């Protein structure tokens, strides 16, 4: 389930793509968010403007597919829905850029609810 920023960004992107006559389908592959004009597409959403962009991240599976050429939509400035900025580029453009790999372990709410927390008052 996408968070609020992702939800708004995806909604804005879909509206613009439809207005532009593009064909959008839900992805049949969990690695990507959409299929746009027959190509897999990943949507990266940021609350702030492109000028304040910090980073975009990819899962291991997405990063492994960078050279296979999928579409990346970078949706910026979602915190200001009247001025959303949308950029489109090929994943292949990332192949010569430096990246840093970080690993993290995520515990979801369902799992955390199994714990007995001590609430501070």
- Which residues share a beta bridge with 41? 34, 71
| CATH number assigned to the domain comprising residue 62 | 3.40.1350
Say how many C-beta atoms besides its own lie within 10 A of residue 48's C-beta: 14
Laid out side by side, the sheet with 24-26 consists of 24-26, 34-36, 39-45, 71-76, 85-90
According to the model, what pLDDT value does residue 108 have?
80
Asked if residue 22 belongs to a domain, the reply is: yes
Q: pLDDT over 70 for what percent of the chain?
A: 97
Domain extent, residue 61, equals: 4-112
- Taking only the tens place, the pLDDT of each residue in 6-28 is 999 999 999 999 999 999 999 99
- Taking only the tens place, the pLDDT of each residue in 68-99 is 899 999 999 999 989 999 999 999 999 889 99
């Amino acid at each position: 389930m996408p968070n609020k920023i992702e939800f708004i960004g995806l909604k804005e992107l879909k509206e613009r793509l439809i207005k532009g006559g593009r064909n959008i389908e839900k992805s049949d592959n969990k690695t990507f968010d959409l299929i746009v004009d027959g190509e897999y597409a990943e949507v990266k959403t940021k609350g702030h403007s492109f000028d304040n962009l910090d980073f975009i991240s990819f899962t291991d599976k997405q990063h492994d597919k960078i050279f296979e050429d999928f579409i990346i939509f970078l949706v910026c400035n979602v915190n200001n829905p009247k001025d959303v900025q949308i950029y489109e580029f090929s994943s292949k453009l990332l192949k010569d850029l430096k990246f840093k790999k970080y690993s993290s372990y995520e515990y979801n709410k369902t799992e955390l609810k199994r714990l007995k927390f001590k609430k501070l008052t």
